[in-house]
């Protein structure tokens, strides 16, 4: 089924790229969504099975694939709205100056949708791969397709963001490749001829520790570019800022989850070796520095899109702190990446409406959003509450469990520092969001404010509601899948 899915997605992407008919393009997008959900349901129904040698429908892959398939629906819907607004800008008297400046063409629309499909395909396959080299390949596919989305506007800023993303991701993917070479040397000592995660875990006790240590350093560092973690977090910040917001929503959710998969699957192998505590130290240092960096930037950033991006750095730092602390932190980490994906994507989808109203990203020029788009302002407020893990946010549960894991691991000093940093983040985040929603903007002419349909905010309410539901009242099957995704850590008594 995986091969059929990949072949179908590539065929649809090719059709989107070569076709210039508007109706056919949108039709192909819905065909892809049907294919995406068919593949997701098939994976769930065949849980535990291996497919096409290199793919396995395990619990972690299924969980993240379900989250991706849910987010893919509003991503397509809001991409269509985004493209349509810019396509009609030259003839629509209600179009904003920003929309007129970035008028779409059939060619730019075709490239955007083709890249969108390839991105979703690459991430989906990456979630399910059971081989370190194969996930490396699909990670590179996401880099190429994401680059096309970042450069969508074809202007100087988009070009700058694209080459930065390509350059940093090229370095990161090289790091992963070098790590795979070191891992192969470690596996050779154990008599392993393949680098599947399953086989590596089975023979973990025989892996050469010296080469494994080097492999972990390089592979971990490489995947931080996708996860959004120190040291290679900068690639994602510029990408989310320069890309169209519907694409930015995917960068801030499903791609970050791909980085988590790449690190977490290999971490499970390393955690079952004598390097377990050393690996926790490496992860813990990077995680703490990520929360610290996010705090520093969020205190001074005035670009609301970049502010949302830095918020993602904070959350991934918390996720990896949970992994480093162990215990209930493993469960909390998996729960957190799923809930964060729903919350952060909803905020980026809402940003498309915010920008259409104000034609500006600067906090100084935003304000009184509740007056101009009441429904959107409510989404922004609920998104802020959710992103900062205030009750009844589902992230409150996962963050509480992460704090509990730090306490149980006797990392009280780190816990106190993290709480202080999060307090500063909440203050900075809240100050900016409340200004956008309630305070009047500076030098803003509201005579030509874009009219936003309340229905455009429906998908964001659904995503935020889903994050609350899964956090506060998770279905038994959902909990079972999370526990199953970390069973290798539990079985080994870690």
* Dihedral angle sign, alpha carbons of residues 41, 42, 44, 45: positive
**What pLDDT sits at residue 53?**
85
Tell me the C-alpha distance between 111 and 417, whole Å: 45
* Dihedral angle sign, alpha carbons of residues 469, 475, 481, 486: positive
**What pLDDT sits at residue 90?**
44
Tell me the C-alpha distance between 421 and 291, whole Å: 7
**What pLDDT sits at residue 93?**
43
- Local structure of residue 364 (DSSP, 8 states): G
pLDDT in tens, 358-399: 888 888 889 889 989 999 999 999 999 999 999 899 999 999
Query: b/e for 287-296, b at 16 or more Cβ within 10 A?
Result: bbbbbbbbbe
- Residues of the chain falling short of pLDDT 50: 90-96, 98-99, 491, 493
CB–CB of 460/379 below 8 Å? yes
- Local structure of residue 387 (DSSP, 8 states): H
**What pLDDT sits at residue 490?**
56
How many C-beta atoms surround the C-beta of residue 306 within 10 A?
17
Query: b/e for 92-117, b at 16 or more Cβ within 10 A?
Result: eeebbebbeebebeeebbbbbbbbbb
CB–CB of 311/388 below 8 Å? no
E strand or H helix at 319, and its extent? helix 304-325
Tell me the C-alpha distance between 465 and 199, whole Å: 39
pTM: 0.93
Tell me the C-alpha distance between 410 and 209, whole Å: 27
**What pLDDT sits at residue 271?**
92
Tell me the C-alpha distance between 273 and 269, whole Å: 7
**What pLDDT sits at residue 193?**
80
CB–CB of 61/128 below 8 Å? yes
């Amino acid at each position: 089924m995986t091969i059929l899915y990949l072949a179908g997605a590539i065929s649809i992407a090719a059709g989107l790229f070569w076709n210039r008919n508007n109706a056919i393009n949108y039709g192909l997008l819905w065909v892809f969504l049907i294919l995406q959900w068919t593949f997701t349901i098939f994976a769930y129904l065949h849980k535990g099975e291996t497919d096409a040698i290199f793919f396995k429908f395990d619990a972690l892959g299924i969980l993240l694939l379900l989250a991706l398939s849910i987010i893919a629906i509003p991503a397509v819907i809001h991409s269509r709205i985004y493209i349509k607004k810019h396509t009609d800008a030259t003839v629509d008297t209600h179009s904003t100056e920003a929309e007129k400046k970035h008028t779409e063409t059939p060619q730019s629309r075709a490239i955007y949708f083709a890249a969108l499909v390839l991105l979703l395909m690459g991430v989906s396959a990456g979630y399910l791969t059971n081989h370190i080299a194969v996930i490396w390949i699909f990670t590179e596919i996401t880099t190429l397709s994401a680059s096309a989305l970042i450069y969508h506007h074809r202007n100087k800023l988009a070009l700058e963001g694209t080459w930065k993303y390509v350059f940093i991701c090229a370095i990161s993917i090289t790091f992963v490749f070098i790590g795979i070479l070191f891992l192969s040397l470690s596996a050779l000592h154990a008599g392993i001829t393949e680098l599947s995660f399953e086989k590596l875990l089975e023979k973990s006790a025989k892996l050469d520790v010296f080469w494994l240590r080097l492999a972990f350093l390089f592979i971990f560092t490489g995947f931080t570019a996708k996860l959004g973690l120190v040291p290679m977090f900068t690639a994602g910040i510029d990408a989310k800022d320069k890309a169209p917001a519907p694409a930015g929503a995917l960068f801030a959710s499903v791609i970050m989850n791909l980085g988590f998969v790449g690190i977490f699957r290999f971490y499970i192998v390393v955690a079952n070796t004598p390097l377990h505590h050393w690996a926790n130290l490496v992860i813990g240092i990077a995680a703490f520095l990520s929360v610290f960096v996010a705090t520093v930037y969020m205190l001074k950033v005035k670009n609301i899109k970049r502010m949302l991006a830095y918020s993602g750095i904070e959350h991934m730092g918390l996720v990896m702190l949970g992994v480093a602390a162990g215990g209930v932190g493993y469960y909390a980490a998996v729960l957190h990446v799923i809930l964060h994906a729903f919350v952060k994507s909803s905020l980026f989808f809402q940003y498309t409406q915010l920008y259409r109203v104000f034609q500006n990203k600067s906090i100084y020029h935003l304000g009184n959003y509740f007056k101009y788009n009441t429904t959107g302002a409510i989404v922004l407020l609920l998104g802020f509450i959710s992103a900062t893990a205030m009750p009844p946010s589902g992230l409150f549960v996962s963050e509480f469990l992460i704090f509990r894991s730090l306490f149980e691991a006797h990392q009280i000093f780190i816990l106190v520092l993290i709480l202080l940093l999060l307090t500063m983040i909440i203050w900075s985040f809240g100050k900016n969001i409340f200004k956008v929603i309630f305070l009047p903007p500076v030098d803003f002419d509201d005579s030509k404010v874009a009219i936003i349909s309340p229905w455009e905010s429906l998908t964001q309410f659904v995503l935020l509601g889903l994050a609350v539901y899964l956090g506060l009242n998770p279905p038994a099957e959902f909990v079972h899948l999370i526990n199953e995704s970390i069973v290798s850590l539990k079985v080994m008594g870690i």
